[in-house]
């Protein structure tokens, strides 16, 4: 979960429904975006909600994707 005022990282394809726009649970306008739990919500609306509700945001209603593990090249070193 990002700190209030920080941006969510939603890079995974699960956050976009290319087939159906549903009403955003926060503003009511149509959106193809989905929260990690599948709730229809604009990313900007979720970020604003986190800023406005820092206590409730700790429950991770809207959370960022987990960062992928960095890829390491074993034995490759840093060649120029």
Relative to beta strand 30-31, strand 22-23 is antiparallel
Does some domain include residue 25?
A: yes
Can you give the residue range of the structural domain that contains 29?
Answer: 13-57
Indicate whether 74 belongs to any domain: no
Tell me the pLDDT tens digit for each residue of 29-68: 999 999 988 999 999 999 998 889 888 877 777 877 776 6
Decide if 29 contacts 23 (C-beta within 8 A). yes
Whether 65 maps to a domain, the answer reads: no
In a domain, 47, yes or no: yes
Q: Cα dihedral angle (25, 48, 59, 19), rounded to 10 degrees?
A: 40
Number of folded domains that form the chain: 1
> What average pLDDT does the structure give for the chain?
82
Tokens read off for 40 = 């229809």
What's this model's pTM, rounded to 2 decimal places? Answer: 0.73
Q: Which two tokens stand for residue 2?
A: 């990002």
| CA dist., res. 2 & res. 7, Å (int) | 7
């Amino acid at each position: 979960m990002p700190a209030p005022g920080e941006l969510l990282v939603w890079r995974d394809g699960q956050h976009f429904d290319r087939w159906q726009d549903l009403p955003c649970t926060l503003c009511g306008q149509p959106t193809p975006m989905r929260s990690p739990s599948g709730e229809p919500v604009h990313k900007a609306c979720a970020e604003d909600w986190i800023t406005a509700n820092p206590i409730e945001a700790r429950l991770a209603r809207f959370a960022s994707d987990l960062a992928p593990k960095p890829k390491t090249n074993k034995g490759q070193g840093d060649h120029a």
